């Protein structure tokens, strides 16, 4: 957003709503006269130039002093006093405008440049200024990162206002979000969490951050030969600057002055394996942290004396964390599910900390139904503006003896508070039943007690009993944990599919579940269907259980997870302790869930859902897998609901790690569905025979960079797809700029999708 700063008795900020108004203010006769005098050296005239502020968010009032609201953009100042250098700078900035998120570029009164760029959410103005300066490799002033920074404007003429994006006149965050963002950023500054070199926090007029953190260059596929004119600065698509930043994050932050040499040596030793022990490359990418080139060269030489024995565990952890974010979608035909991110949301980190590594993924999925059960009449607005409650159903499918009991203790501790209240209400219900038995005749029966909220139900339950529990839940979810999923058979009813209908009704917003009976002793009620559950089963039983409803909807509404098979003779997994200290850590999250009410707005989860929809759509277009596409719709809703639950549990505070975790959770869920049911669903849809288990493949990757219509037909045939739809697939790819048509029957991948960049 753009605010004009006006000074009468006090300064106040006035919103500028459109381009015409902004340009008119800059081109007013008074401003142009003052600009002419300012460029001639008149400082008093410069102080009279129209003033604007770009760092501010949405302000409820007009007062500027002490405002506590930050927006989505930030101001960045570049000094220059040489006209020829200034023009070269402008070209350099415009060449990287997309990379830096440029929204406005104007020449300052002194000949330098004022930039307004998009701020990365959750990061401070200083962090973003360091990032921009590193990308452009242009000096920055470390003293210009205050929120209320006021900028003296120049004219609105093309020579002064080189670039202006109309998006700058809007603010994507609400007023409340702007204020919350300000609070998070101030806490980040206060707690010393900013990812900037120590020198950036000192007063420096001509600071060069790229000498400490080199900026990323072209993306590559790994280490390639280095020559005097070019250097590949990425490893498997991840820039070395990102790797180094993540290394510091995972290893206690930037070193203090007395430990720089030791810490830099440790970094160099761990980097050498992904630099092919190449001294020249390592010397280019190593941060300086205030040391001279000779000192860093000595450190690099020492680190490279021995050849690396492979990538270290510490560096693998860094790469795993980053690559989860770099590749949001991957082909799902691998025999192993997507790898869980190293960096987890705090609640998930707590709930999995006592879990052996091979079980962490299963636990990370299974904890959501009991967490969601703590929400009472809390709703979230999805991207179609339909309100959803936190209906979450999880099925753990794994081989016999895989260790499916790994989810038991985390769930038991999550449900402890509900179980305690249920026990008291169960006792009250039992006393009422006992008194009723004493009364005898129906006319003497006692009224059923009010307030018998019992959420955790017995899996061996009839439909009338379940309807009663839902009816008496007073807006709460009912919950059940099944050690075997076929225990649902108790609820299958006369149609044989009633338990599957229950799963569908529970997921669909506003659906009711109940029955109408004439008898005075019969249960007659149609409460809102609020039903969360966990179930375990073997893979064979699970496939058999769902075999009759492959295309009816239950599978797409359930979140699936698994446990990888252990090697024969593997050591016994060791669990941590679930003790009072664990419960004390868990309690604040549970309290946040139980105290929530009404419609909760989580804008970050909303934006993430939009992003996941785009990613799944792109992968579906490239894989041409209809089953994957159909399953992805509700899988995204499930993933989004998990993000909302984490947001509420965290006190309605968003964590950066939630996005990577939720993206992985979605990929994992879809991987399980495609592995366990994908082939059966496709066969059921086509009424064909069962084919081998597989996941969706990116068909474009299976084609050469230049291919013919026959090549595309052949690939579709190999993947078991209809050859007659080949031309429709290619037209779709052309519309999305995935491919370019060279002739009537020949095509070429666009640069983004050519094999060297995949």
Mean pLDDT of 728-743: 82
CA distances from 650 to 347, 382, 413, 593 (A): 8, 20, 18, 9
Phi, psi of 173 (to 5 degrees): -85, 150
Residue 216 has pLDDT above 50, yes or no: no
Phi, psi of 51 (to 5 degrees): -110, 140
pLDDT of the residue at 234:
65
- pLDDT category at 756 given cuts 50, 70, 90 is very low
pLDDT of the residue at 321:
67
High-pLDDT (> 90) share of the chain, %: 35
Residue 192 CA, chain-centre distance (Å), reads 24
Mean pLDDT of 345-365: 93
Contacts of 145 (CB under 8 A, 6+ apart): 124, 125, 126, 129
Taking all residues of the chain, what is their mean pLDDT, rounded to a whole number?
83
| Token digits of residue 738 | 């995935």
- How many beta carbons lie within 10 A of that of residue 542, not counting itself? 24
Mean pLDDT of 578-590: 94
pLDDT of the residue at 7:
79
Residue 85 has pLDDT above 50, yes or no: yes
pLDDT of the residue at 694:
56
pLDDT of the residue at 736:
78
- pLDDT category at 450 given cuts 50, 70, 90 is confident
Residue 291 CA, chain-centre distance (Å), reads 36
Residue 26 to residue 269: CA distance in whole angstroms: 55
pLDDT of the residue at 757:
38
Segments of 90-230 assigned E as strands = 102-107, 113-118, 151-152, 161-164
Q: Mind listing the pLDDT tens digit for each residue in 675-722?
A: 898 888 877 776 544 444 556 778 888 888 888 888 888 888 878 787
pLDDT of the residue at 225:
30
| Token digits of residue 716 | 């579709």
Q: Burial code of 524-539, b = ≥16 C-beta within 10 A, e = fewer?
A: ebebbbbbbbbbbbbb
End-to-end CA distance of the chain: 37
Helix spans in 367-415 (H): 368-373, 408-414
High-pLDDT (> 70) share of the chain, %: 86
pLDDT of the residue at 494:
55
Residue 654 CA, chain-centre distance (Å), reads 10
Mean pLDDT of 358-365: 94
Q: Mind listing the pLDDT tens digit for each residue in 95-111?
A: 888 889 999 999 999 88
pLDDT of the residue at 274:
85
Mean pLDDT: which of 346-350, 573-577, 722-726 is highest? 346-350
pLDDT of the residue at 211:
65
Residue 283 to residue 205: CA distance in whole angstroms: 27
Which pairing describes strands 559-561 and 393-397: parallel, antiparallel, or unpaired?
parallel
Mean pLDDT of 727-755: 79
- pLDDT category at 569 given cuts 50, 70, 90 is low
pLDDT of the residue at 226:
27
Residue 212 has pLDDT above 80, yes or no: no
Residue 157 to residue 13: CA distance in whole angstroms: 24
pLDDT of the residue at 222:
30
Residue in this structure with the two tokens 């064979």, named with its chain if needed: 540
Taking each helix axis from N to C end, the angle separating 240-250 and 260-271, rounded to the nearest 10 degrees, works out to: 130
pLDDT of the residue at 740:
85
pLDDT of the residue at 667:
92
Mean pLDDT: which of 207-221, 273-287, 298-312, 416-430 is highest? 416-430
Vertex 82 angle, CA 79 and 85, to 5°: 85
Q: Mind listing the pLDDT tens digit for each residue in 11-58?
A: 788 899 999 999 999 999 999 999 999 988 888 899 899 999 999 888
pLDDT of the residue at 333:
42
Q: Which of residues 265 and 82 earns the better pLDDT score?
A: 265
Closest CA to 633 of 729, 507, 506, 500: 507
Mean pLDDT of 346-371: 93
Q: Mind listing the pLDDT tens digit for each residue in 386-444?
A: 999 999 999 999 988 888 999 999 999 999 999 999 888 888 888 887 877 776 655 56
């Amino acid at each position: 957003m753009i605010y004009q700063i006006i000074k009468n008795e006090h300064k106040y900020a006035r919103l500028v709503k459109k381009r015409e108004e902004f340009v008119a203010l800059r081109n007013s006769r008074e401003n142009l006269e003052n600009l002419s005098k300012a460029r001639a050296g008149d400082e008093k005239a410069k102080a009279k130039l129209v003033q604007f502020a770009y760092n501010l968010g949405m302000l409820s009032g007009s007062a500027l002093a002490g405002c506590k609201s930050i927006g989505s953009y930030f101001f960045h100042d570049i000094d220059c006093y040489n006209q020829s250098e200034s023009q070269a700078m402008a070209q350099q900035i415009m060449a990287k405008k997309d990379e830096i998120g440029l929204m406005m570029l104007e020449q300052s009164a002194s000949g330098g440049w004022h930039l307004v760029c998009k701020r990365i959410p959750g990061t401070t103005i200083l962090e973003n200024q360091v990032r921009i300066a590193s990308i452009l490799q242009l000096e920055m002033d470390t003293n210009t990162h205050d929120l209320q920074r006021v900028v003296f404007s120049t004219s609105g003429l093309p020579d002064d206002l080189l670039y202006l994006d109309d998006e700058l006149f809007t603010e994507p965050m609400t007023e409340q979000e702007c204020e919350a963002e300000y609070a998070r950023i101030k806490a980040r500054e206060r707690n010393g969490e900013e990812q900037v070199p120590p020198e950036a926090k000192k007063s420096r007029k001509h600071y060069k951050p790229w000498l400490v953190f080199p900026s990323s260059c072209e993306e590559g596929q790994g280490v390639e030969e280095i020559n005097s004119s070019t250097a590949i600065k990425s490893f498997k698509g991840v820039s070395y600057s990102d790797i180094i930043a993540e290394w510091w994050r995972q290893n206690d932050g930037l070193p203090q002055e007395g430990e720089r040499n030791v810490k830099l040596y440790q970094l160099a030793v761990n980097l050498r394996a992904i630099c092919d022990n190449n001294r020249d490359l390592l010397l280019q990418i190593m941060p300086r942290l205030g040391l001279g080139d000779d000192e860093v060269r000595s450190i690099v030489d020492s680190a490279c004396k021995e050849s690396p024995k492979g990538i270290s565990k510490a560096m693998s952890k860094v790469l795993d964390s980053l690559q989860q974010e770099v590749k949001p979608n991957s082909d799902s035909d691998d025999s192993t599910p997507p790898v869980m991110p190293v960096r987890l949301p705090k609640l998930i980190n707590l709930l999995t900390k006592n879990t052996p590594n091979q079980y962490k993924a299963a636990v990370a999925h299974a904890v959501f139904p009991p967490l969601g059960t703590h929400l009472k009449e809390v709703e979230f607005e999805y991207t179609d503006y339909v309100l959803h409650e936190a209906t979450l159903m999880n099925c753990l499918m794994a081989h016999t003896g895989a260790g499916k009991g790994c989810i038991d203790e985390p769930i038991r501790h999550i449900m402890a508070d509900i179980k305690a209240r249920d026990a008291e209400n169960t006792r009250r219900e039992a006393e009422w039943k006992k008194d009723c038995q004493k009364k005898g005749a129906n006319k003497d029966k006692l009224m059923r007690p009010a307030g018998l909220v019992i959420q955790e139900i017995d899996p061996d339950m009839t439909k009338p009993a379940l309807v009663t529990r839902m009816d008496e839940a007073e807006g709460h979810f009912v919950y059940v944990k099944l050690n075997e999923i076929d225990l649902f058979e108790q609820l299958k009813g006369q149609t044989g599919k009633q338990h599957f209908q229950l799963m569908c009704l529970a997921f669909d917003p506003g659906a009711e579940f109940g029955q109408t009976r004439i008898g005075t002793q019969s249960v007659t009620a149609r409460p809102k269907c609020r039903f969360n559950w966990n179930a375990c089963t073997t893979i064979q039983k699970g496939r058999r259980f769902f075999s009759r409803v492959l295309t009816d909807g239950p599978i797409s509404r359930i979140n699936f997870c698994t446990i990888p098979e252990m090697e024969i003779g593997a050591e016994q997994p060791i669990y941590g302790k679930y003790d009072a200290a664990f419960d004390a850590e868990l309690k604040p999250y549970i309290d946040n869930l139980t105290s929530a009410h009404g419609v909760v707005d989580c804008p970050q989860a909303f934006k993430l859902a939009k992003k996941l929809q785009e990613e799944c759509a792109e992968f579906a277009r490239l894989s041409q897998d209809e089953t994957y596409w159909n399953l992805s719709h509700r899988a995204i809703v499930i993933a989004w609901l998990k993000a909302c639950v984490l947001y509420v549990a965290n006190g309605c505070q968003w964590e950066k790690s939630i996005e990577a975790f939720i993206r992985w959770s979605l990929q994992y869920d879809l991987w399980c569905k495609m592995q366990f049911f994908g082939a059966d669903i496709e066969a059921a849809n086509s009424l064909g025979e069962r084919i081998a288990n597989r996941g969706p493949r990116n068909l474009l990757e299976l084609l050469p960079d230049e291919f013919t219509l026959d090549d595309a037909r052949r690939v579709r045939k190999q993947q078991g797809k209809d050859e007659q739809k080949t031309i429709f697939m290619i037209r779709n790819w052309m519309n999305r700029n995935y491919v370019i048509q060279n002739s009537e029957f020949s095509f070429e991948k666009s640069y983004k999708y050519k094999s060297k960049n995949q």
